[in-house]
Structure 1
Amino acid sequence: MPTALITGATAGIGAAFARRLAKDGLDLVLVARDEQRLAETAETLGKQFGVEVEVLRADLAEDAGIALVEDRLRAGVDLLVNNAGFGNRGTYLDVPVEDELRMLKVHCEAVLRLTSAVLPGMRERGKGAIINVASVAAFFARGTYSASKAWVVSFTEGIAQDLGEPDISVLALCPGFVRTEFHERARMETSKVPDAFWLNADDVVATALRDLKRGVRVSVPDVRYKALVGVAKFIPKNLSGRLSSRTGRRYD
Protein backbone atom coordinates (compact mmCIF):
# COMPACT_ATOMS: atom_id res chain seq x y z
CA MET A 1 0.00 0.00 0.00
CA PRO A 2 1.46 3.43 -0.92
CA THR A 3 2.26 5.67 2.03
CA ALA A 4 2.19 9.47 2.32
CA LEU A 5 3.85 11.52 5.05
CA ILE A 6 2.28 14.93 5.72
CA THR A 7 3.69 17.61 7.99
CA GLY A 8 1.30 20.03 9.66
CA ALA A 9 -1.31 17.34 9.13
CA THR A 10 -3.98 18.15 11.71
CA ALA A 11 -5.32 21.45 10.39
CA GLY A 12 -5.94 23.42 7.22
CA ILE A 13 -4.34 22.29 4.00
CA GLY A 14 -2.44 19.51 5.75
CA ALA A 15 -5.65 18.02 7.13
CA ALA A 16 -7.23 18.33 3.68
CA PHE A 17 -4.32 16.39 2.18
CA ALA A 18 -4.74 13.72 4.86
CA ARG A 19 -8.47 13.32 4.13
CA ARG A 20 -8.01 13.20 0.37
CA LEU A 21 -5.07 10.80 0.39
CA ALA A 22 -6.79 8.50 2.88
CA LYS A 23 -9.88 8.53 0.65
CA ASP A 24 -7.61 7.57 -2.26
CA GLY A 25 -6.40 4.55 -0.26
CA LEU A 26 -2.95 5.68 0.85
CA ASP A 27 -1.64 4.80 4.28
CA LEU A 28 -0.58 7.89 6.20
CA VAL A 29 2.15 9.19 8.46
CA LEU A 30 0.85 12.34 10.13
CA VAL A 31 3.28 14.85 11.62
CA ALA A 32 2.26 17.70 13.92
CA ARG A 33 2.98 19.21 17.35
CA ASP A 34 -0.37 18.53 19.03
CA GLU A 35 -0.41 14.93 20.25
CA GLN A 36 -4.13 14.90 21.05
CA ARG A 37 -5.17 16.24 17.64
CA LEU A 38 -2.85 13.74 15.97
CA ALA A 39 -4.50 10.86 17.81
CA GLU A 40 -8.00 12.11 17.06
CA THR A 41 -7.21 12.66 13.38
CA ALA A 42 -5.59 9.25 13.04
CA GLU A 43 -8.55 7.50 14.64
CA THR A 44 -11.07 9.32 12.47
CA LEU A 45 -9.28 8.69 9.18
CA GLY A 46 -8.49 5.09 10.02
CA LYS A 47 -12.12 4.30 10.81
CA GLN A 48 -13.56 6.27 7.91
CA PHE A 49 -11.28 5.05 5.14
CA GLY A 50 -9.78 1.79 6.46
CA VAL A 51 -6.17 2.88 6.03
CA GLU A 52 -3.20 2.56 8.37
CA VAL A 53 -2.39 5.86 10.08
CA GLU A 54 0.89 6.39 11.94
CA VAL A 55 1.51 9.54 13.96
CA LEU A 56 4.69 11.42 14.78
CA ARG A 57 4.63 14.24 17.30
CA ALA A 58 7.38 16.59 16.13
CA ASP A 59 8.13 20.30 16.25
CA LEU A 60 9.88 21.16 12.99
CA ALA A 61 11.24 24.35 14.52
CA GLU A 62 13.55 22.10 16.59
CA ASP A 63 16.44 19.93 15.38
CA ALA A 64 15.14 16.94 17.32
CA GLY A 65 11.76 17.20 15.61
CA ILE A 66 13.26 17.39 12.15
CA ALA A 67 15.59 14.48 12.90
CA LEU A 68 12.66 12.31 14.02
CA VAL A 69 10.85 12.86 10.73
CA GLU A 70 14.07 12.39 8.74
CA ASP A 71 14.49 8.94 10.28
CA ARG A 72 10.94 7.95 9.31
CA LEU A 73 11.42 9.19 5.76
CA ARG A 74 14.58 7.15 5.34
CA ALA A 75 12.47 4.08 6.06
CA GLY A 76 10.55 4.94 2.90
CA VAL A 77 7.35 6.72 1.83
CA ASP A 78 5.84 7.21 -1.60
CA LEU A 79 4.68 10.81 -1.17
CA LEU A 80 6.06 13.57 1.05
CA VAL A 81 3.92 16.66 1.66
CA ASN A 82 5.97 19.43 3.27
CA ASN A 83 3.06 21.49 4.54
CA ALA A 84 3.97 22.70 8.04
CA GLY A 85 4.20 26.48 8.33
CA PHE A 86 3.03 29.58 10.13
CA GLY A 87 2.98 33.36 9.93
CA ASN A 88 4.42 35.84 12.41
CA ARG A 89 2.43 38.75 13.81
CA GLY A 90 3.62 42.06 12.43
CA THR A 91 5.93 43.25 9.70
CA TYR A 92 9.62 42.37 9.54
CA LEU A 93 10.88 45.20 11.78
CA ASP A 94 8.26 44.37 14.42
CA VAL A 95 9.03 40.65 14.71
CA PRO A 96 11.71 39.35 17.10
CA VAL A 97 14.63 37.77 15.26
CA GLU A 98 14.10 34.55 17.21
CA ASP A 99 10.59 34.23 15.76
CA GLU A 100 11.86 34.89 12.24
CA LEU A 101 14.51 32.20 12.65
CA ARG A 102 11.88 29.70 13.80
CA MET A 103 9.91 30.48 10.65
CA LEU A 104 12.96 29.93 8.46
CA LYS A 105 13.67 26.68 10.30
CA VAL A 106 10.21 25.34 9.49
CA HIS A 107 9.73 26.82 6.01
CA CYS A 108 13.25 26.32 4.65
CA GLU A 109 15.57 24.11 6.70
CA ALA A 110 12.93 21.48 7.48
CA VAL A 111 11.80 21.36 3.84
CA LEU A 112 15.40 20.97 2.69
CA ARG A 113 16.28 18.28 5.22
CA LEU A 114 13.10 16.25 4.81
CA THR A 115 13.37 16.36 1.04
CA SER A 116 16.99 15.27 1.26
CA ALA A 117 16.02 12.41 3.58
CA VAL A 118 13.28 11.02 1.35
CA LEU A 119 14.87 11.35 -2.09
CA PRO A 120 17.53 8.61 -1.91
CA GLY A 121 14.86 5.95 -1.28
CA MET A 122 12.68 7.31 -4.05
CA ARG A 123 15.57 7.27 -6.48
CA GLU A 124 16.46 3.72 -5.49
CA ARG A 125 12.87 2.58 -6.09
CA GLY A 126 12.60 4.70 -9.22
CA LYS A 127 9.37 6.43 -8.18
CA GLY A 128 7.89 8.88 -5.70
CA ALA A 129 6.53 12.38 -5.31
CA ILE A 130 7.09 15.48 -3.20
CA ILE A 131 4.72 18.41 -2.69
CA ASN A 132 6.19 21.49 -1.03
CA VAL A 133 3.47 23.87 0.14
CA ALA A 134 4.52 27.45 -0.57
CA SER A 135 2.15 30.38 -1.09
CA VAL A 136 1.10 32.90 -3.69
CA ALA A 137 2.94 35.30 -1.35
CA ALA A 138 6.13 33.91 -2.88
CA PHE A 139 5.51 36.19 -5.87
CA PHE A 140 5.09 39.38 -3.82
CA ALA A 141 7.47 41.33 -1.59
CA ARG A 142 6.04 40.80 1.90
CA GLY A 143 8.88 40.32 4.39
CA THR A 144 10.27 37.08 5.72
CA TYR A 145 7.15 35.01 5.09
CA SER A 146 7.13 35.81 1.39
CA ALA A 147 10.90 35.40 1.18
CA SER A 148 10.74 31.96 2.77
CA LYS A 149 7.98 30.83 0.43
CA ALA A 150 9.88 32.22 -2.57
CA TRP A 151 12.77 30.01 -1.43
CA VAL A 152 10.43 26.99 -1.36
CA VAL A 153 9.34 27.65 -4.95
CA SER A 154 12.89 28.16 -6.20
CA PHE A 155 14.17 25.13 -4.30
CA THR A 156 11.41 22.93 -5.69
CA GLU A 157 12.04 24.03 -9.27
CA GLY A 158 15.76 23.53 -8.79
CA ILE A 159 15.57 19.99 -7.44
CA ALA A 160 13.06 19.02 -10.12
CA GLN A 161 15.56 20.19 -12.70
CA ASP A 162 18.48 18.46 -11.00
CA LEU A 163 16.61 15.18 -10.60
CA GLY A 164 15.65 14.85 -14.23
CA GLU A 165 13.73 11.65 -13.39
CA PRO A 166 10.26 11.46 -14.94
CA ASP A 167 8.94 9.00 -12.35
CA ILE A 168 9.77 11.25 -9.39
CA SER A 169 7.44 14.25 -9.35
CA VAL A 170 8.18 17.45 -7.43
CA LEU A 171 5.68 20.28 -7.09
CA ALA A 172 5.49 23.62 -5.28
CA LEU A 173 1.91 24.42 -4.28
CA CYS A 174 1.16 28.16 -4.10
CA PRO A 175 -2.34 28.83 -2.79
CA GLY A 176 -3.74 32.23 -1.96
CA PHE A 177 -6.10 32.88 0.96
CA VAL A 178 -7.49 29.59 2.23
CA ARG A 179 -10.07 29.27 4.99
CA THR A 180 -7.97 27.57 7.68
CA GLU A 181 -6.63 28.31 11.17
CA PHE A 182 -3.53 29.96 9.68
CA HIS A 183 -4.67 33.57 9.84
CA GLU A 184 -6.27 33.24 13.26
CA ARG A 185 -3.10 31.75 14.74
CA ALA A 186 -1.04 34.64 13.35
CA ARG A 187 -3.69 37.11 14.58
CA MET A 188 -4.18 38.42 11.07
CA GLU A 189 -7.16 40.63 10.34
CA THR A 190 -8.48 39.47 6.97
CA SER A 191 -11.78 41.34 6.78
CA LYS A 192 -10.57 43.31 3.75
CA VAL A 193 -10.05 40.18 1.67
CA PRO A 194 -12.92 39.92 -0.83
CA ASP A 195 -15.00 36.76 -0.49
CA ALA A 196 -14.14 35.85 -4.07
CA PHE A 197 -10.49 35.40 -3.13
CA TRP A 198 -11.04 32.81 -0.40
CA LEU A 199 -10.27 29.24 -1.43
CA ASN A 200 -11.46 25.94 -0.02
CA ALA A 201 -8.69 23.68 1.31
CA ASP A 202 -10.15 20.55 -0.30
CA ASP A 203 -10.24 22.29 -3.69
CA VAL A 204 -6.63 23.41 -3.25
CA VAL A 205 -5.56 19.83 -2.55
CA ALA A 206 -7.49 18.50 -5.53
CA THR A 207 -5.74 20.99 -7.79
CA ALA A 208 -2.33 20.10 -6.35
CA LEU A 209 -2.78 16.37 -6.91
CA ARG A 210 -4.09 16.93 -10.43
CA ASP A 211 -1.14 19.17 -11.29
CA LEU A 212 1.28 16.68 -9.73
CA LYS A 213 0.05 13.97 -12.09
CA ARG A 214 0.39 16.37 -15.03
CA GLY A 215 4.03 17.08 -14.22
CA VAL A 216 3.46 20.70 -13.24
CA ARG A 217 6.25 22.12 -11.09
CA VAL A 218 4.52 25.22 -9.69
CA SER A 219 0.81 24.93 -8.99
CA VAL A 220 -1.25 28.08 -8.37
CA PRO A 221 -4.83 27.03 -7.59
CA ASP A 222 -7.68 29.08 -9.02
CA VAL A 223 -7.73 31.19 -12.15
CA ARG A 224 -7.95 34.44 -10.14
CA TYR A 225 -4.64 33.78 -8.42
CA LYS A 226 -3.06 32.62 -11.65
CA ALA A 227 -4.00 36.00 -13.10
CA LEU A 228 -2.57 37.87 -10.09
CA VAL A 229 0.71 36.00 -10.32
CA GLY A 230 0.89 36.72 -14.03
CA VAL A 231 0.30 40.43 -13.48
CA ALA A 232 2.78 40.53 -10.57
CA LYS A 233 5.63 39.70 -12.94
CA PHE A 234 5.18 43.10 -14.57
CA ILE A 235 4.70 45.18 -11.39
CA PRO A 236 7.70 46.61 -9.49
CA LYS A 237 8.33 44.63 -6.30
CA ASN A 238 7.87 47.62 -3.98
CA LEU A 239 4.47 48.41 -5.50
CA SER A 240 3.25 44.81 -5.48
CA GLY A 241 4.26 44.51 -1.84
CA ARG A 242 2.28 47.59 -0.87
CA LEU A 243 -0.76 46.37 -2.79
CA SER A 244 -0.55 42.94 -1.18
CA SER A 245 -0.36 44.44 2.30
CA ARG A 246 -3.21 46.87 1.68
CA THR A 247 -5.49 44.20 0.20
CA GLY A 248 -5.55 41.66 2.94
CA ARG A 249 -2.95 41.44 5.68
CA ARG A 250 -3.30 43.72 8.66
CA TYR A 251 -2.51 42.70 12.21
CA ASP A 252 -4.33 43.21 15.49
Structure 2
Amino acid sequence: MTTALITGATAGIGAAFARRLASDGHHLVLVARDEKRLREQATELHDRHGIEVEVLPADLSTEEGIEAVGARLEERTHPVDLLVNNAGFGHRGAFLDVPVEDELTMLKVHCEAVLRLTYTAVAGMRNRGRGGVINVASVAAFVPRGTYGASKAWVVQFTQGVAHDLAGSGVRLMALCPGFVRTEFHERAGVGTDNIPGWMWLDADRLVEAAMKDLDRGKSLSVPDPRYKTLTGLVKLAPRNMLGGISSRTGRKFGPR
Protein backbone atom coordinates (compact mmCIF):
# COMPACT_ATOMS: atom_id res chain seq x y z
CA MET A 1 0.00 0.00 0.00
CA THR A 2 1.25 3.47 -0.88
CA THR A 3 1.33 6.59 1.29
CA ALA A 4 0.07 10.06 0.37
CA LEU A 5 0.91 13.28 2.20
CA ILE A 6 -1.63 16.12 1.93
CA THR A 7 -1.11 19.66 3.16
CA GLY A 8 -4.13 21.75 4.09
CA ALA A 9 -5.86 18.44 4.69
CA THR A 10 -8.65 19.29 7.12
CA ALA A 11 -11.02 21.17 4.82
CA GLY A 12 -12.09 21.75 1.24
CA ILE A 13 -9.99 20.28 -1.55
CA GLY A 14 -7.45 18.82 0.87
CA ALA A 15 -10.15 16.94 2.79
CA ALA A 16 -11.62 15.71 -0.50
CA PHE A 17 -8.22 14.34 -1.52
CA ALA A 18 -7.95 12.62 1.87
CA ARG A 19 -11.36 10.98 1.47
CA ARG A 20 -10.64 9.84 -2.08
CA LEU A 21 -7.16 8.47 -1.37
CA ALA A 22 -8.31 6.72 1.81
CA SER A 23 -11.16 5.05 -0.09
CA ASP A 24 -8.61 3.86 -2.66
CA GLY A 25 -6.58 2.22 0.12
CA HIS A 26 -3.71 4.67 0.50
CA HIS A 27 -2.15 5.32 3.89
CA LEU A 28 -2.18 9.02 4.70
CA VAL A 29 -0.08 11.73 6.29
CA LEU A 30 -2.35 14.69 7.02
CA VAL A 31 -0.82 18.14 7.46
CA ALA A 32 -2.60 21.23 8.79
CA ARG A 33 -2.31 23.77 11.59
CA ASP A 34 -5.24 22.54 13.72
CA GLU A 35 -4.15 19.39 15.56
CA LYS A 36 -7.60 18.72 17.02
CA ARG A 37 -9.26 18.70 13.60
CA LEU A 38 -6.43 16.58 12.20
CA ARG A 39 -6.92 13.91 14.86
CA GLU A 40 -10.69 13.85 14.39
CA GLN A 41 -10.23 13.49 10.64
CA ALA A 42 -7.61 10.76 11.09
CA THR A 43 -9.87 8.74 13.37
CA GLU A 44 -12.79 8.98 10.96
CA LEU A 45 -10.75 7.91 7.92
CA HIS A 46 -9.05 5.08 9.79
CA ASP A 47 -12.34 3.72 11.14
CA ARG A 48 -14.10 3.99 7.79
CA HIS A 49 -11.40 2.67 5.47
CA GLY A 50 -9.01 0.68 7.67
CA ILE A 51 -5.95 2.62 6.53
CA GLU A 52 -3.14 4.06 8.65
CA VAL A 53 -3.28 7.82 9.16
CA GLU A 54 -0.48 9.97 10.56
CA VAL A 55 -1.15 13.52 11.71
CA LEU A 56 1.47 16.23 11.34
CA PRO A 57 0.48 19.63 12.76
CA ALA A 58 2.50 22.24 10.89
CA ASP A 59 2.18 25.86 9.81
CA LEU A 60 3.73 26.21 6.36
CA SER A 61 4.09 29.96 6.76
CA THR A 62 6.92 29.22 9.22
CA GLU A 63 10.38 27.75 8.79
CA GLU A 64 9.64 25.18 11.48
CA GLY A 65 6.51 24.01 9.69
CA ILE A 66 8.21 23.57 6.32
CA GLU A 67 11.13 21.74 7.92
CA ALA A 68 8.80 19.38 9.81
CA VAL A 69 6.96 18.35 6.65
CA GLY A 70 10.25 18.11 4.74
CA ALA A 71 11.64 15.75 7.38
CA ARG A 72 8.64 13.45 6.93
CA LEU A 73 9.11 13.47 3.16
CA GLU A 74 12.74 12.40 3.64
CA GLU A 75 11.77 9.37 5.73
CA ARG A 76 12.85 6.17 3.96
CA THR A 77 11.15 3.56 6.14
CA HIS A 78 7.65 4.66 5.14
CA PRO A 79 8.20 6.79 2.03
CA VAL A 80 5.61 9.15 0.61
CA ASP A 81 4.50 8.10 -2.88
CA LEU A 82 2.11 11.00 -3.56
CA LEU A 83 2.47 14.57 -2.34
CA VAL A 84 -0.49 16.93 -2.56
CA ASN A 85 0.60 20.53 -1.94
CA ASN A 86 -2.81 22.02 -1.21
CA ALA A 87 -2.26 24.46 1.68
CA GLY A 88 -3.15 28.01 0.76
CA PHE A 89 -5.26 31.04 1.52
CA GLY A 90 -6.54 34.30 0.08
CA HIS A 91 -6.61 37.95 1.16
CA ARG A 92 -9.50 40.34 1.30
CA GLY A 93 -8.70 43.62 -0.37
CA ALA A 94 -6.75 45.04 -3.28
CA PHE A 95 -3.00 45.55 -3.34
CA LEU A 96 -1.96 48.20 -0.77
CA ASP A 97 -5.09 47.33 1.23
CA VAL A 98 -3.25 44.24 2.50
CA PRO A 99 -0.13 44.59 4.72
CA VAL A 100 3.01 43.64 2.84
CA GLU A 101 3.85 41.16 5.60
CA ASP A 102 0.66 39.25 4.75
CA GLU A 103 1.55 39.26 1.06
CA LEU A 104 4.98 37.82 1.88
CA THR A 105 3.34 35.14 4.04
CA MET A 106 1.23 34.16 1.04
CA LEU A 107 4.36 33.78 -1.08
CA LYS A 108 5.93 31.68 1.68
CA VAL A 109 3.02 29.23 1.67
CA HIS A 110 2.12 29.24 -2.03
CA CYS A 111 5.63 29.35 -3.50
CA GLU A 112 8.49 28.66 -1.08
CA ALA A 113 6.79 25.79 0.73
CA VAL A 114 5.64 24.25 -2.56
CA LEU A 115 9.15 24.49 -4.03
CA ARG A 116 10.92 23.06 -0.99
CA LEU A 117 8.46 20.23 -0.36
CA THR A 118 8.36 19.30 -4.04
CA TYR A 119 12.17 19.29 -4.17
CA THR A 120 12.42 17.00 -1.14
CA ALA A 121 9.67 14.67 -2.29
CA VAL A 122 10.79 14.17 -5.89
CA ALA A 123 14.40 13.52 -4.89
CA GLY A 124 13.34 10.36 -3.09
CA MET A 125 10.70 9.47 -5.69
CA ARG A 126 13.22 9.66 -8.52
CA ASN A 127 15.56 7.32 -6.65
CA ARG A 128 12.70 4.84 -6.22
CA GLY A 129 11.58 5.28 -9.82
CA ARG A 130 7.99 6.14 -8.97
CA GLY A 131 5.80 8.77 -7.35
CA GLY A 132 3.65 11.79 -7.97
CA VAL A 133 3.14 15.40 -6.90
CA ILE A 134 -0.05 17.42 -7.28
CA ASN A 135 0.43 21.14 -6.70
CA VAL A 136 -2.92 22.87 -6.24
CA ALA A 137 -2.98 26.17 -8.14
CA SER A 138 -6.07 27.98 -9.46
CA VAL A 139 -7.64 29.32 -12.64
CA ALA A 140 -6.57 32.66 -11.13
CA ALA A 141 -3.13 31.70 -12.45
CA PHE A 142 -4.27 32.65 -15.96
CA VAL A 143 -5.40 36.22 -15.24
CA PRO A 144 -3.49 39.25 -13.88
CA ARG A 145 -5.11 39.54 -10.48
CA GLY A 146 -2.78 40.47 -7.61
CA THR A 147 -0.45 38.40 -5.47
CA TYR A 148 -2.80 35.43 -5.25
CA GLY A 149 -3.04 34.99 -9.02
CA ALA A 150 0.67 35.67 -9.44
CA SER A 151 1.61 33.04 -6.87
CA LYS A 152 -0.64 30.48 -8.52
CA ALA A 153 0.83 31.32 -11.94
CA TRP A 154 4.22 30.55 -10.43
CA VAL A 155 2.92 27.19 -9.19
CA VAL A 156 1.73 26.28 -12.69
CA GLN A 157 4.98 27.27 -14.42
CA PHE A 158 7.13 25.65 -11.75
CA THR A 159 5.21 22.38 -11.81
CA GLN A 160 5.19 22.04 -15.58
CA GLY A 161 8.89 22.86 -15.74
CA VAL A 162 9.81 20.21 -13.17
CA ALA A 163 7.49 17.71 -14.89
CA HIS A 164 9.47 18.25 -18.09
CA ASP A 165 12.80 17.82 -16.27
CA LEU A 166 11.64 14.54 -14.70
CA ALA A 167 10.04 13.04 -17.82
CA GLY A 168 10.88 9.36 -18.05
CA SER A 169 11.89 9.08 -14.39
CA GLY A 170 8.65 7.48 -13.20
CA VAL A 171 7.75 10.63 -11.25
CA ARG A 172 4.69 12.59 -12.39
CA LEU A 173 3.93 16.20 -11.52
CA MET A 174 0.69 18.04 -12.15
CA ALA A 175 -0.63 21.53 -11.43
CA LEU A 176 -4.32 21.45 -10.52
CA CYS A 177 -6.26 24.60 -11.43
CA PRO A 178 -9.80 24.64 -10.00
CA GLY A 179 -12.26 27.50 -10.18
CA PHE A 180 -14.65 28.40 -7.36
CA VAL A 181 -15.02 25.41 -5.03
CA ARG A 182 -17.40 25.23 -2.07
CA THR A 183 -14.89 25.15 0.80
CA GLU A 184 -13.90 27.24 3.82
CA PHE A 185 -11.46 29.23 1.64
CA HIS A 186 -13.64 32.28 1.04
CA GLU A 187 -14.96 32.40 4.60
CA ARG A 188 -11.42 32.39 6.01
CA ALA A 189 -10.43 35.18 3.64
CA GLY A 190 -13.48 37.24 4.64
CA VAL A 191 -14.73 37.13 1.07
CA GLY A 192 -18.45 37.28 0.33
CA THR A 193 -19.78 34.62 -2.07
CA ASP A 194 -23.45 35.52 -2.48
CA ASN A 195 -22.65 37.43 -5.67
CA ILE A 196 -20.94 34.47 -7.37
CA PRO A 197 -23.27 32.76 -9.90
CA GLY A 198 -24.29 29.22 -9.05
CA TRP A 199 -22.94 27.79 -12.31
CA MET A 200 -19.40 28.82 -11.33
CA TRP A 201 -19.26 26.59 -8.24
CA LEU A 202 -17.54 23.19 -8.30
CA ASP A 203 -17.91 20.21 -5.97
CA ALA A 204 -14.66 19.30 -4.20
CA ASP A 205 -15.12 15.52 -4.45
CA ARG A 206 -15.87 15.64 -8.19
CA LEU A 207 -12.92 17.97 -8.64
CA VAL A 208 -10.58 15.48 -6.98
CA GLU A 209 -11.97 12.60 -9.02
CA ALA A 210 -11.22 14.48 -12.23
CA ALA A 211 -7.77 15.49 -10.96
CA MET A 212 -6.80 11.90 -10.17
CA LYS A 213 -7.86 10.81 -13.65
CA ASP A 214 -5.73 13.56 -15.18
CA LEU A 215 -2.73 12.50 -13.07
CA ASP A 216 -3.18 8.91 -14.23
CA ARG A 217 -3.22 10.17 -17.83
CA GLY A 218 0.12 11.86 -17.28
CA LYS A 219 -1.11 15.43 -17.62
CA SER A 220 1.06 18.20 -16.17
CA LEU A 221 -1.87 20.65 -16.05
CA SER A 222 -5.41 19.88 -14.96
CA VAL A 223 -8.36 22.26 -15.33
CA PRO A 224 -10.97 19.73 -14.25
CA ASP A 225 -14.26 21.06 -15.53
CA PRO A 226 -15.57 21.88 -19.03
CA ARG A 227 -16.82 25.31 -17.88
CA TYR A 228 -13.42 26.40 -16.67
CA LYS A 229 -11.62 24.76 -19.58
CA THR A 230 -13.68 27.01 -21.85
CA LEU A 231 -13.00 30.10 -19.74
CA THR A 232 -9.25 29.49 -19.62
CA GLY A 233 -9.24 28.90 -23.36
CA LEU A 234 -10.90 32.27 -23.92
CA VAL A 235 -8.46 33.92 -21.53
CA LYS A 236 -5.52 32.72 -23.62
CA LEU A 237 -7.00 34.43 -26.68
CA ALA A 238 -7.68 37.78 -25.01
CA PRO A 239 -5.11 40.63 -25.26
CA ARG A 240 -3.26 41.09 -21.97
CA ASN A 241 -4.20 44.77 -21.56
CA MET A 242 -7.88 43.96 -22.10
CA LEU A 243 -7.60 40.97 -19.77
CA GLY A 244 -6.23 43.12 -16.97
CA GLY A 245 -9.27 45.41 -17.11
CA ILE A 246 -11.69 42.48 -17.23
CA SER A 247 -9.91 40.79 -14.32
CA SER A 248 -10.10 43.96 -12.23
CA ARG A 249 -13.82 44.44 -12.89
CA THR A 250 -14.53 40.75 -12.26
CA GLY A 251 -12.62 40.91 -9.01
CA ARG A 252 -14.75 43.83 -7.84
CA LYS A 253 -17.93 42.01 -8.86
CA PHE A 254 -17.16 38.53 -7.55
CA GLY A 255 -14.48 39.32 -4.96
CA PRO A 256 -14.59 40.64 -1.38
CA ARG A 257 -17.47 42.90 -0.38
Instruction: Write the distance in 1 (CA, Å) between the matches of 2:150 and 2:109.
Output: 13
225, 239, 242: which one aligns with 1:239 = 242
- Give the corresponding residue for 1:23: 23
- Give the corresponding residue for 2:229: 226
Instruction: Write the distance in 1 (CA, Å) between the matches of 2:166 and 2:211.
Output: 20
Q: Is 1:188–1:249's contact at 8 Å kept on the other side of the alignment?
A: no
Name the TM-score, length of structure 2 as normaliser. 0.95
- Give the corresponding residue for 2:206: 203
Q: What CA deviation, in whole Å up to 9, does each residue of 1:99-134 have, x standing for no partner?
A: 000000000000000001111110111000000000
Over aligned residues, Cα RMSD in angstroms? 1.1
Which one-letter code corresponds to 2:147 in the other structure? T
Q: Is 2:166–2:172's contact at 8 Å kept on the other side of the alignment?
A: no
Q: Is 1:177–1:198's contact at 8 Å kept on the other side of the alignment?
A: yes
Give percent identity, aligned residues only.
64
Moved over 6 A (4+): none
- Give the corresponding residue for 2:35: 35
Q: Is 1:142–1:245's contact at 8 Å kept on the other side of the alignment?
A: yes
Q: What CA deviation, in whole Å up to 9, does each residue of 1:160-198 have, x standing for no partner?
A: 111122521110000000000001111112222211110
SS at match of 1:93: coil
SS at match of 2:178: coil
State how many pairs are aligned. 252
Instruction: Write the distance in 2 (CA, Å) between the matches of 1:54 and 1:240.
Output: 44
- Give the corresponding residue for 1:194: 197
- Give the corresponding residue for 1:77: 80
160, 163, 181: which one aligns with 2:163 = 160
Q: What CA deviation, in whole Å up to 9, does each residue of 1:45-80 have, x standing for no partner?
A: 000000000000000000000000000001120000
Q: What CA deviation, in whole Å up to 9, does each residue of 1:125-162 have, x standing for no partner?
A: 10000000000000011100000000000000000111
Q: Is 2:126–2:169's contact at 8 Å kept on the other side of the alignment?
A: no
Q: Is 1:141–1:238's contact at 8 Å kept on the other side of the alignment?
A: no
Instruction: Write the distance in 1 (CA, Å) between the matches of 2:137 and 2:240.
Output: 19
SS at match of 1:175: coil
Instruction: Write the distance in 2 (CA, Å) between the matches of 1:88 and 1:206.
Output: 28
Deviation of the 1:242 alpha carbon: 3.6
212, 217, 240: which one aligns with 1:214 = 217
Instruction: Write the distance in 2 (CA, Å) between the matches of 1:91 and 1:225.
Output: 24
1:249 aligns with 2:242: no
SS at match of 2:30: strand
1:53 aligns with 2:58: no
Q: Is 2:13–2:205's contact at 8 Å kept on the other side of the alignment?
A: yes
- Give the corresponding residue for 1:132: 135
Q: What CA deviation, in whole Å up to 9, does each residue of 1:12-53 have, x standing for no partner?
A: 000000000000000000000001100100000000000000
SS at match of 2:96: helix
- Give the corresponding residue for 2:91: 88
Instruction: Write the distance in 2 (CA, Å) between the matches of 1:44 and 1:138.
Output: 34
Q: 1:107-126 residue pairs with structure 2 within 5 A?
A: 107-126=110-129
* CA spacing shift, 1:154–1:7, aligned 2, 3 Å: same
Which one-letter code corresponds to 1:136 in the other structure? V
Q: Which moved more, 1:53-62 or 1:189-198?
A: 189-198
- Give the corresponding residue for 1:13: 13
